[in-house]
Amino acid sequence: MSILCDHEIRDLINTKQMVENYHPDLINPASLDLRLGELIMIESAEDLNMRPLSIADRTANDPYWLVPGQFVLAETMELFNMPEDIAGLFFLKSSRAREGYENLHAGYADPGWNGSVLTLELKNSRQLLPLPLWPGLKIGQLVLFRMSAVPSTSYAAVGHYNAHKTVMGSVA
């Protein structure tokens, strides 16, 4: 298993349509930057389920404010169609982590995962100040790995989170 470099990521995007709605400037030497999408899910005091909230009209100058300790689910702008021999791990951008954003480390892109945006589990770990969220914010990066072999069972056949074009709560 090896980490893919910039030109390998670019080739997979161009030849296998691995990522839709991306910009070439998002490719780093060993990862792909991911941007926040237009929908988040927030807690509600009336319901155990998280409820969707559009932040489509928010900007860097007028963001949605994630208050200290608040947890949200968020989506990426990018939509993925992972090849059968490629997997990916999501990490926050280091600048976002240094600002106080926290990711609950569940962002994994299985080989064969397809037709879906990545759902992110975000939290404001600061104690005093809110953190801004808006569509297009570079929130993290996906590090891509080539598998040592194609798995015998594809996530395309057994995965719960295929073909989700928006942020998703738990289906467990």
State the Cα–Cα distance between residues 152 and 144, nearest whole angstrom.
20
Does 99 participate in catalysis according to the annotation? no
- The residue annotated as part of the active site, out of 38, 84, 102, 121, is 121
State the Cα–Cα distance between residues 119 and 134, nearest whole angstrom.
15
CB 50, CB 74: distance < 8 Å: no
If 0-12 CB within 10 Å is exposed, 13-18 middle and 19+ buried, where does residue 133 land?
buried
CB 114, CB 82: distance < 8 Å: yes
Residues with a catalytic annotation lie at: 121
